[in-house]
Structure 1
Amino acid sequence: MQHIKGFAIVFMAASAVVACHAPEAPVVSARPVAVIAPQALRDAGSAEFYPGTVRARVESALSFRVAGKIIERRVDIGAQVRKGDVLAVLDPIDARLNVQAAESSVAAAEADARLAESEFQRHVDLNQRGFVSASLLDLRRNQMELAQARLKQARSQLAVSRNQAAYTSLVADADGLVTQVQADAGRVVAAGEPVLGFARNGEREVRINVPEGAAVERLRSAPSLRVSLWAQPGKLYEARVREIAGSADASTRTHEARISIVNADDAVKLGMTASVQVGTPAEEPLWRLPLTAVGDSSGTPVVWRVVAAGEQLQAQPLPVKVVQLLNDAVIIAGDIKPDDRLISAGVHLLTPAMPVKPIDRSAPVAL
């Protein structure tokens, strides 16, 4: 009996000790998840940039149409001129003398023509009265026609001399800008020798050099072109390809391309440093992921990123924007870093802060 009482006392004491300790929480094991590194898209939404300078659509080297000595240059580099403005002048003395000589030749030819015509009329009257033969009359007719032809020749030569006298003044044939001075006062120049560089007002373009190969075709078929100016940061101008050289430069192996600025304003100055943007850059980085890596949270697309929480790794949702769906992948944009580890499958079973054990999908499997 006493043995039974002792056993009861021991049992009650053990029960009291057990009752003083709360039940332990169940241990939650980390969920194995497959992770991948996000793949940055360098081609989608990317742009190429080519440096260049702003040039005029029409550029020319102005020169005199006659030879002579320059006695005056009336413009400097950067001068804005109007059509008809005199830019430079040659010594006009020789040209004036040529005009005077041509005028004298015309006067002599006119006198010869008048004499020949009067002789012809006199012989017509004598022939009608039977005093001269028909052959002599034909001779006087030929002399009259020859004198008239020489008069026309002299008058044409006078017109040429007067034109050449006018060519001693170098005149702007359009509104534009003087870009270069290649000859100054005192220099004797030949006909056609460049004197001034001239850029017409109007359309502006950027000249760039494009590497041979695929870059040329990308430029030719680019859906959009834009031009930015170093002096106008943040401002973009629409542009189009006007011309691409058919062959590459022998020394640089690049093709010269001329890109017309469609909506150029007064801020676009000749000689400015410019950059041609081929294609449209994305406003934010784009990433390619498997379709199974994108889930949904309250109607918002999310991806799950593995983050460290103390000694534990957890899954945390990250909102993203779906840019394009492909057959086996999705293009997304969001606050993703290249070194992020994103869960690539089973995202519908995840909850925020869930402990996970990442398994790299790209790691080799041990056999």
Structure 2
Amino acid sequence: MATPVHQDQATAPHPTSAPAYEPEVEEQSGRSKRPIIFLVLALILLVGGYFGYQRYQFGQTHEETDDAQVEGDIYPVLPRVAGPVLTVKVEDNQTVKKGDVLVTLDPADYQQRINAAEAALAAAQANVVAARAAVGTASANVSAASATIGVSDANRARLEKDLKRSAFLRKEDIIPQSEYDAVQANLKSTSAQRATAQQQVGVARQQVAAAQQQVAVAQAVVKQRQADLDNAKLQLSYTTIVAPANGVVSRKNVQPGQVVAPGQQLMGLVASERTWVIANFKETQLENMKVGQPVAVEVDAYPNEEFEGHIESLSAATGARFALLPPDNASGNFVKVTQRVPVKIALDKVDPDHPLRAGMSVTATVKVK
């Protein structure tokens, strides 16, 4: 009977051994996962610390702002004279070259002014010819009066000799008194004629001076009429409006038949030759910023492209100073606000595959160290 009892004891521990062994397996599997988690966390912290340190080092040597945009020359197309529009030869977004005709105005009125100015100039030139002829006539009068003086002098010299002879002859009673009186009267008459001729010379010389002044006045009038003619031609040339530079036509607001006034903007011309970037950095970012430092430019329109440039200049005043109503910090409720200073960035090269247009938003990063 001892044998059956021994078999029961041998078979009894078998079903109870399974629940006693299972907790040990779970505890060992939990302990084996903890080093992996710690390793992953440590790796994450290590990578995060590395990139954080790199970002810190980058921030120490670079200054960045997204308050920046592309700028370019925009030329307003303005008429310099008034008149009805005859033709408009361009459309919006059309590329033009410097000197290309954009708009023509009706030139009829200005052509009439040229005709009137030409007629006035011809009349003034005729007055110059007449004035010069008057100078010639006055000069001839001077010569004639001078010749009369010469004749009078010759006659007077002869009559003075005749008077001396007549006086001797009369003293000897060879000639009658009447003949002596006649010679004396002729001498007085010749002296009077000489005085008259001398006065005529003075008058003729005054006429010459006056005629010369008339010539000067007429020549001045010719210059004035020539200036009027040149101005009329200049006004006529303004009826043809040409492109001031190479660029692209934008915001065209003129049509044939429209009457325009001087200074009225007809369209804008965006220059296509050169663009640059204006970045508004905070005043606290300018400590180490200098002209010539390299700049990396990222344009929102081309997220996969990076443009290289350099600082060309820094503004002499903050952007607020150029506002329509600049802030006045002298009031009692002053609140300090960090100001921004415009910095002009020139691009080192032009990428024709990725054209930059004025007004595009960019991010500028300056390497200051």
TM (normalized to structure 2)?
0.58
Q: Cα 1:224–1:113, aligned 2, differ >3 Å: closer, same or farther?
A: same
Q: Is contact 1:222–1:279 with CA below 8 Å preserved after alignment?
A: no
1:63 pairs, out of 75, 78, 93, with: 78
Counterpart of 1:364 in structure 2 is: none
Matched residue, 1:238: 308
How far the C-alpha of 1:111 sits from its partner, in A, is 1.3
Distance change in 2, residues 1:219/1:201 (3 Å) = same
Distance change (3 Å), C-alpha of 1:153 and 1:145: same
Q: Which residue of 2 aligns with 1:139?
A: 210
Whether 1:228 and 2:298 are equivalent positions in the alignment is yes
Q: Write the deviation string for residues 140-180 of structure 1: whole angstroms up to 9, x where unpaired.
A: 11111111110111011101110110011111233222233
Query: 2:131 corresponds to which residue?
Result: 116
Structure 2 letter corresponding to 1:45: F
Partner of 2:192 in structure 1?
none
Secondary structure of the 1:158 match is helix
Distance 1:215 1:91, change over 3 A: farther
Give the aligned partner of residue 198 of structure 1: 269
CA contact (8 A) 1:51 1:273 kept: no
Q: Counterpart in 1 of 2:252?
A: 181
What is the CA-CA distance between 1:97 and the residue it aligns to?
A: 1.5
* Partner SS for 2:56: coil
Would you say 1:259 and 2:345 are equivalent positions? Answer: yes
Structure 2 unaligned regions, length at least 5: 1-41, 146-199, 326-336
* 1:89 CA displacement: 1.6
Q: Which residue of 2 aligns with 1:268?
A: 355
Does the residue aligned with 2:262 lie in a helix, a strand or coil? Answer: coil
**Is the Cα contact below 8 Å between 2:118 and 2:229 reproduced in 1?**
yes
* C-alpha distance 118-146 of structure 1, shift in aligned 2 (>3 A): same
1:105 paired to 2:120: yes
Gap regions ≥5 residues in structure 1: 1-34, 282-367
Structure 1 or 2: more strand by fraction = 1
Distance in structure 2 (CA, Å) of the matches to 1:216 and 1:66: 47
In the alignment, is the contact (CA less than 8 A) between 1:239 and 1:261 conserved in 2?
Answer: yes
Please tell me the residue identity of whatever aligns with 1:65.
R
CA contact 1:182–1:197 (8 Å) conserved in 2: no
Aligned residues: 245
Which of 131, 139, 142 is the aligned partner of 1:127? 142
Which of residues 227, 232, 245 in structure 2 aligns to 1:161?
A: 232
Tell me which residue corresponds to 2:220.
149
**67, 70, 76: which is aligned to 1:54?**
70
**Larger relative helix fraction:** 2
Aligned 8 A contact 2:293 2:311 in 1: no
CA contact (8 A) 1:238 1:263 kept: yes
Cα offset, 1:221, TM superposition: 6.7
Shift of 1:254: 4.2
Partner of 1:84: 99
CA distance in 1: counterparts of 2:340 and 2:265, whole angstroms? 28
Letter in 2 for 1:110: Q
TM-score by length of 1: 0.58
Match of 1:45 in 2: 58
Query: Does structure 1 retain, via aligned residues, the 8 Å contact 2:70–2:357?
Result: yes
Query: Once the 2 structures are TM-superposed, how far is the Cα of residue 118 of structure 1 from its aligned partner?
Result: 1.4
Compute the displacement of 1:271 (Å).
3.9
Structure 1 residues 255 and 93: CA distance shift in structure 2, 3 A: farther
**What is the aligned-residue identity percentage?**
24
- Decide whether the 8 Å contact of 1:225 with 1:276 is kept in 2: no
- SS of 2:226's partner is helix
Secondary structure of residue in 2 paired with 1:181:
coil
Q: Deviations over 1:22-48 (max 9, x none)?
A: xxxxxxxxxxxxx99848334321452
Q: Which residue of 2 aligns with 1:172?
A: 243
Q: Using a 3 Å threshold, how does the CA distance of structure 1 residues 179 and 44 change in structure 2: closer, same or farther?
A: farther
Tell me the amino acid that sits aligned with residue 43 of structure 1. Y
RMSD over aligned CA atoms reads 3.1
CA contact (8 A) 1:222 1:278 kept: no
CA spacing shift, 1:229–1:59, aligned 2, 3 Å: same
Greater Rg over alpha carbons, structure: 2
Aligned counterpart, 2:111: 96
Q: What is the distance in 1 between the residues matched to 2:310 and 2:259?
A: 43
Tell me the SS of whatever aligns to 2:141: helix
The alpha carbon displacement at 1:241 in A equals: 2.7
Q: Distance in 1 between matches of 2:340 and 2:311?
A: 16
